[in-house]
Amino acid sequence: MFETEFNEIPIDDWSLDDIPLARVRAASGADPSIRKISYPKGAFEPFYNPKSRLFPDPSERLPAIVRNITSNANCDRYLVVTRYKTELQGTSLVLDGIGAYSRGVGSFARHSHLFANVAVNLIDGRSYEQINRHFANFGSNLAESMRLTEDPITKLDNSQFPDPPASAASNTALRERTRALVAARLDRTLPGYLKQD
């Protein structure tokens, strides 16, 4: 009766990795010094799934991974967008990164939603220390947390929820809605990270 099904579907051709660069350029007034740095597939795997849980291995931390990727890049700062996990309030459902979920039974009780758990991280290009901007977007985050209505961009019509889940990768409407959600999340977060000290 209470069943949770989790499906991970590859969506490589959705070009989600291109969105952060486009949003950073838009937020910075198309600064020509901003560029994308390529990295090998799986480079961030130690960050997402560290082997050492009790005593964190420094090589699994984000600054060390960025240092390995950017050894010849010579940038003042590196802005890194990563995914994170959250637990859906009132449930034990873990939402990891970007996706869609559906809750309830039957067409009237069911609720479908998109989510985009993306974090912005700033790394100093010389020391490779993480630059913390804890209160970077305090105002916009506070306003979002006090929202009385559901964010319309996250609400997904039940008919748009991929069924079967494997059909998500070829769902054009779902792709465009997800890209818009990721862009909106970044647009809310980036300004505090792009300001000069």
Segment 112-134, tens digit of pLDDT? 889 999 999 999 999 999 998 76
Decide if 6 is inside a domain. no
The band of 78, judged by pLDDT with boundaries at 50, 70 and 90, is: very high
d(CA 161, CA 166): 11
Decide if 84 is inside a domain. yes
Decide if 106 is inside a domain. yes
Q: In terms of residue numbers, what domain contains 62?
A: 12-194
H or E segment to which residue 185 belongs: helix 172-194
pLDDT tens digit string along 137-170?
655 555 555 555 567 778 888 888 888 888 888 9
Contact 154, 95 (CB under 8 A): no
Give pTM, 2 decimals. Answer: 0.81
pLDDT tens digit string along 98-111?
998 888 766 555 78
Decide if 1 is inside a domain. no
**Which residues have CB under 8 Å from 94's CB, separation 6+?**
85, 86, 87, 88
Q: How many domains does the chain have?
A: 1
**Which residues have CB under 8 Å from 196's CB, separation 6+?**
none
Decide if 3 is inside a domain. no
CB atoms within 10 A of CB 114: 21
CB-based burial label for 3 (10 Å; 0-12, 13-18, 19+):
exposed
Decide if 5 is inside a domain. no
Return the SS3 of 164.
coil
Decide if 181 is inside a domain. yes
Query: Shortest CA distance to 119 belongs to which of 106, 134, 103?
Result: 134
d(CA 156, CA 112): 5
Decide if 73 is inside a domain. yes
**Strands of 98-103's sheet in order across:** 98-103, 111-116, 155-156
Contact 117, 165 (CB under 8 A): no
Q: Determine what percent of the chain falls in helix, strand and coil, rounding each to the nearest 5.
A: 35, 20, 45
d(CA 117, CA 99): 9
d(CA 12, CA 164): 18
**What one-letter code names the amino acid at 120?**
V
